Structure formats: structure tokens, C-alpha cells
Structure 1
Amino acid sequence: MATVRTGVRAIGAVLAAAVGVSALAGCSSTGGKRAEERAQQATAEGRSAVNTPKWTVAMVTHSGDGDTFWDIVQNGAKQAAVKDNINFLYANSDEGQEQAQLVQSYIDKNVDGLIVTLAKPDAMKAVVTKAVKAGIPVITVNSGVDQSKSFGALSHIGQDETIAGEAVGEELAERGKKKALCVVHEQGNVGHEQRCAGAKKAFDGQLQNLYVDGTSLPDVQASIEAKLQADHSIDSVVTLGAPFADAAVKAKETAGSKAEVDTFDLNAKVASDLKSGTLGFAVDQQPYLQGYEAVDLLWLYRYNADVLGGGRPVLTGPQVVTQKDAGALEEYTKRGTR
């Protein structure tokens, strides 16, 4: 587990440097600091920090409605868009074909750049390839690390879901857990399957998947509750998104279970529940950074033909967050950037 955390700190340092470089390339330390301060002030005031043309960038994700994770991604993207004088557009659908149609609509509008997720890559392949052939630069975020390069994207920004899952499996083992439930709230999402598979691979206990209807939190709670009532040997429930952690906590309480609830992703409620001990741990992939860097990298590409990653994904996680870490993150989760 120590190896994962150390690697994440290194990744965070590299990405923090990349953000600074994106804002201001090739400056001396003193001049760079002053210019960065001016850029931050301009962003805070809603003004652009650059004088490049008003390019339009669209982001199309597989998010369902009400998922706070994607609010954080958008917060990062919007912040970078202000700084980079970008007109930022956003659309989403949790149905693969509808997501592809939304991408097509932006191709028809001849946007200057596209940011897409590939949770359902088969549905997205043709339209992403079409965008690239039309001369629209594409960056993939969050999901699709295995398909991004072959689809023609410039880069992928996110976490490797298998590695993230393995981090969960290792953490469960360290905590002495023996039987875990991996709650999959979106069937057909390859990233979710990879998370559970990675956890199962690294966990020396038993892990089984529970498929639920993520569009209805009451149904999610009822499904978890029924499973916990039927099997009292389950000592850990892992949800794959922050909004579902609270449903799992309620299910645990109504089922009279002593299982620990853990989750992927972070938001203000998860941070609060980690601090109180209601949740055991969370895996943060820094969604704000995914949105911010995606917009910033498209700006860099349009302005200077720059590409980060050298053909490899730009990793933003995983980072295992526990009770001892939660307090330090509260400031950021409350403002919607973590």
C-alpha cells in the first residue's frame, strides 16, 4: 500500500508542476511567480489570462444526472476555460448512443476541441474517430485509457482503473477484511468492471459484484440492504462513486450490518463521513484536475502544438484517503474542487 501512496504523491507533484507550466511556460522563477499570480487574479475576476482567440471546447461525458463527481470535473474545466479564453460547452448522457450523438452535434458545430469519456468505448469509437479525421483535437478523460490512443486522441487524463481497484484490494487486506461487496451502479461501464476486477485481484479475501440501478438511490440502498441481510459475513461494502456511499451507509444501518463502507471518489459528504469514521476510506482520482488539465492541454495544443504524456496517460490517481487525511481536504471539498 505504501508503494501506491508514494507513487501518487509523485504523480501529484508532476501534475502540479504541469498546471503551473500550462499557465506560464518558460519563465524565470521570480517572473513566473508574478505572472502566475496575475493569472490567478485574472481567473478569480473572470478575466482571461491570455490573448489567444476565443476557441470553443466541448466536453461530453457518460455522467448520469445528479452525479457530484462530474460537477467537480466541470469546476476544473470552467476554471481553466476562463484562464485560457475558452468558450466551454458541456453535455452528458449515460446512454452510449446518446453520448455519441452529442459528440456528433459538436462535430457539426465545428468546435475547436473535444473532451470525451469512453466508459462505453464501442458506442464512442466511430464518432471519436470521425472527430479526429475532421481535424478536431480530442482528449479523453476519466475512462478509456486502453482505447484513447487507438481512437486517435491526443492524450488521456485520469487514473488507471485496474490499478485503482488493486489499491482498494490492498487496503481491504490491510484492514483485515475477509468478504467484500463491490457495488456496480452502471452496467456496461468498462471502468467500473476494471475497478472491481482489480480489487478482487489484489484482495486475499472474497469479493463479489452487486449490480444495482444507479439512477435510483432508493433502489441502490434497497439492493445493498437485501444483500447485507442475506449474508452477515460481508464485512466491507465498496461503492464505485461518492453519491452511492451514503446509500450504502443507510443500507448498512437498516440491515443491522457491521460492514465497513468504503468508496471510490471524493466529495464534501464523503470527506465529512471519513472524518467522523462513518466511512473507512475513499479513493480519490482528482476530478477537478481532470477537467482543468483537459481544457488546458487543448489550449496548449491549439496555441503551441504541445502534447503531454508522450503517448502514455497523464495519471491523476489513485490516492487512498482515510480519516487522518479528511480534515486537510475539507476546505477543498466544500468549495467543490476535491
Structure 2
Amino acid sequence: MLALASMASAFVLAASAHADDKQLVFYEASHAWLGHPFWNVLNKGMKDAAEKYGVKVVSLQENSPPNSGQQSEKIDRAIAANPDGLIVSLPDAKGVESSLKRATEKGIPIIAMNVGDTRPAGERIPYLFYIGGDEKLGGERAADYILSHKKPTSGLCVNTNAGQSGLVARCEGFTTTYKKANVKAETIVVPPDSPTQAAEQFRAYLTANPDIASVFVVDPTYTVEIMKVLEEAGKSDQVTLFSYDMSKEVIDAIEKGKILGTVDQQQYLQGYLAVEFLYLNKEHGFTLAQDILTGPAIIDKDNVAAVKANVTAGYR
């Protein structure tokens, strides 16, 4: 369990039992939020690395996803604590760059994880490097897999947050790949943080577009709700469903053939490696010449059994 460190929603993910004044302290100020299965896995990665290297990791996660203004406030709070390193994600890089510029000016090393700055090189925030999946490539891989296994006549990408650059890139990769294969594809945007409302919006779409042949959903919780809509409509055998990321429900559905597969970005590694490399940077000056891609990888019926135990254990 995460221990509440203050009334300001700061959580100590891990700290050495033998802490002293020389202990390294890293802050995490991403767009993560408490309680979501995806972030629980990433948090486990940070916690495990912090315990291994004897550092303290303070997370500023709260109970709902922050917008860019709220994330900037969290980054400012982290900078005020003068940490030895800072871990961030950048779903809206432009919205937080002024705060991160102040961190750079103070000499605080920054690692971006989960979502990087996708702008051209000269415009990007000067973090050390990025650890995470390639979002656009993930959408492309999902599309390629569906096209090669099911030969669909049409495709739909369900974006669960139009303001999140990574999710936009997933849908862009998916629809562009379909169109290159001369298969029509489009994107719909459903309400963020409300899988139930999203399911109703998809139900209306399905009624208006009964010939839709394949659906790619960028979030596993939403995938499960859309799967239920397809089942209720008697369309499960007619519509190919593909997801992004994993949950126990998604894994079970892949085993049963209700979901063709999912894209795995190995978020445990995103959390673990961010802490590990901040430690190595501070202790030994190490950095990397390029980003670390933890995904995309495809999980389907052929390899789902190999990852199922890790999902249960909180590593996937």
C-alpha cells in the first residue's frame, strides 16, 4: 500500500529503512492517478526500483487524472522540494514546458516516461531521455495485426481522451495504416473517465454503422465495456475487437477469443527504469544516447498464457 505523506497528496512510494541525509530523493509528477490498474503496475515498478537502490520516491498522484495546468502545479511543487531527480510524463508537453524549464535551470535531471514530447527535436523539452512505448507505432502494429489476421472491410478507433497526445497518436497510427491498405477507418472520441458513457456512445455508433468490421480501443477498461455492447448486440462474431494495455478482464477475453489481442507497453519497466536511471545518473553520471522503447508488443492467444501470471502478480 502507498503511505500518505501529507495532506497535499504526496505519497512515498518507497524509502530505505536506513535513510540518511545523503539519501537520494526523486519526485514523480506525471499525469498518473491513483487506483487505475495501469498506473498501479507502473507504481509497482517505481517502488521496486526505489527499494533496490535505497532511494526515496515521492509521488504526487491524486485520485483523478490531472489536466496540464494541474500537472504543472505538481511539477512546481516537486521543484520547490529541490529533489535529486524528477520523473514526468508529457501528454501535453507544451502545457508543462514552462515548469520543466525551471527544473532544468535548477539542474534537476528529468526523465520522461509513458508519454514523451513528440514535437520536433528543436522544440522538445530537454529531458535526459524517454522511457515508454511508441504510441503511433502501437496503433500501426494493432492495425497490421488485424489486417493480416481478419481482413476487415472497415475499422474504428475509439479514443478515450482527445487531449492526451499519446492516445491521439495511437488512433493516428491505426487509421493511417488502414487507409494505406485501402480499408476505410475513422476515429470517435468518447468521454474521458467514463467507460459507461463511452459504451453508450459506441452503442449509438454501432446502431448507425451496423457494418463496422473492426474496433481498436486505446484503453483496456473501455475495451471491456465495448465488448459487452458487442455481446448484447449479437455482434461479437462479426466485429473484431483489439485493445491497448492489459487487465485481467482483457487477458481472460483474449483467452476466450472475444478480443483478438492487445498492445503491451510494459509499464512496469517504465516506472522501474525511470528510477533506476535517475539513480545511475546521480551516482555515476550515466545517461543514454537514445530513448528506451518498452513497447509496443502484441499479446494474443499464442502468448497470453505466458503473461497471465504476471498480470495477476502486478507486473503486467
TM-score under structure 2 normalisation? 0.87
Sort the Cα spacing of 1:212 and 1:222 in 2 relative to 1 into closer, same or farther, 3 A.
same
Match of 1:227 among 201, 205, 211: 205
Of 279-288 and 146-155, deviating more is: 146-155
Match of 2:49 among 80, 87, 104: 80
CA distance in structure 2 between the aligned counterparts of 1:124 and 1:220, rounded to whole angstroms:
28
What is the letter of the counterpart of residue 77 of structure 2?
Answer: S
How far the C-alpha of 1:148 sits from its partner, in A, is: 9.7
What is the letter of the counterpart of residue 40 of structure 2?
Answer: D
**Structure 2 counterparts to residues 159-308 of structure 1, below 5 A:** 159-174=133-148, 175-203=150-178, 204=181, 205-257=183-235, 258-308=238-288
- 1:141-163 Cα distance to aligned partner (Å, 9 max, x none): 11124259731100100122121
Q: Does 1:330 align with 2:308?
A: yes
CA distance in structure 2 between the aligned counterparts of 1:59 and 1:148, rounded to whole angstroms:
25
Match of 1:114 among 86, 110, 115: 86
> Does the residue aligned with 2:145 lie in a helix, a strand or coil?
helix
CA distance in structure 2 between the aligned counterparts of 1:322 and 1:89, rounded to whole angstroms:
36
In structure 1, the partner of 2:125 is 151
How far the C-alpha of 1:101 sits from its partner, in A, is: 0.5
Match of 2:73 among 80, 86, 101: 101
How far the C-alpha of 1:281 sits from its partner, in A, is: 0.7
How far the C-alpha of 1:294 sits from its partner, in A, is: 0.3
What is the letter of the counterpart of residue 307 of structure 2?
Answer: L
In structure 1, the partner of 2:6 is none
> Does the residue aligned with 2:162 lie in a helix, a strand or coil?
coil
Conserved 8 A contact 1:145-1:160: no
Conserved 8 A contact 1:77-1:294: yes
CA distance in structure 2 between the aligned counterparts of 1:336 and 1:233, rounded to whole angstroms:
38
> Does the residue aligned with 2:127 lie in a helix, a strand or coil?
coil
Q: Once superposed, which parts of structure 1, at least 4 consecutive aligned residues long, lie more than 2 Å away?
A: 46-53, 63-67, 91-94, 145-150, 254-258
> Does the residue aligned with 2:82 lie in a helix, a strand or coil?
coil
CA distance in structure 1 between the aligned counterparts of 2:51 and 2:82, rounded to whole angstroms:
21
> Does the residue aligned with 1:316 lie in a helix, a strand or coil?
strand
In structure 2, the partner of 1:4 is none
Sort the Cα spacing of 1:187 and 1:235 in 2 relative to 1 into closer, same or farther, 3 A.
same
RMSD across aligned C-alpha pairs, in angstroms? Answer: 2.1
How far the C-alpha of 1:58 sits from its partner, in A, is: 1.4
CA distance in structure 2 between the aligned counterparts of 1:95 and 1:102, rounded to whole angstroms:
11
Sort the Cα spacing of 1:317 and 1:148 in 2 relative to 1 into closer, same or farther, 3 A.
farther
> Which stretches in structure 2 are left out of the alignment for 5+ residues?
1-14
> Does the residue aligned with 1:105 lie in a helix, a strand or coil?
helix
What is the letter of the counterpart of residue 221 of structure 1?
Answer: A
CA distance in structure 2 between the aligned counterparts of 1:228 and 1:253, rounded to whole angstroms:
12
Sort the Cα spacing of 1:296 and 1:171 in 2 relative to 1 into closer, same or farther, 3 A.
same
Conserved 8 A contact 1:48-1:83: no
- 1:62-115 Cα distance to aligned partner (Å, 9 max, x none): 235543111111111110010111111222433111011001101011111111
Of 85-94 and 328-337, deviating more is: 85-94
CA distance in structure 2 between the aligned counterparts of 1:227 and 1:330, rounded to whole angstroms:
32
TM-score under structure 1 normalisation? 0.81
CA distance in structure 1 between the aligned counterparts of 2:208 and 2:275, rounded to whole angstroms:
47
How far the C-alpha of 1:267 sits from its partner, in A, is: 2.4
How far the C-alpha of 1:201 sits from its partner, in A, is: 1.7
What is the letter of the counterpart of residue 37 of structure 2?
Answer: T
- Identity among equivalent pairs (%): 26
CA distance in structure 2 between the aligned counterparts of 1:66 and 1:217, rounded to whole angstroms:
15
CA distance in structure 2 between the aligned counterparts of 1:129 and 1:318, rounded to whole angstroms:
30
How far the C-alpha of 1:48 sits from its partner, in A, is: 7.7
> Does the residue aligned with 1:332 lie in a helix, a strand or coil?
helix
Q: How many residues align?
A: 291
What is the letter of the counterpart of residue 82 of structure 1?
Answer: E
More helix by share: 1
Conserved 8 A contact 1:267-1:336: no
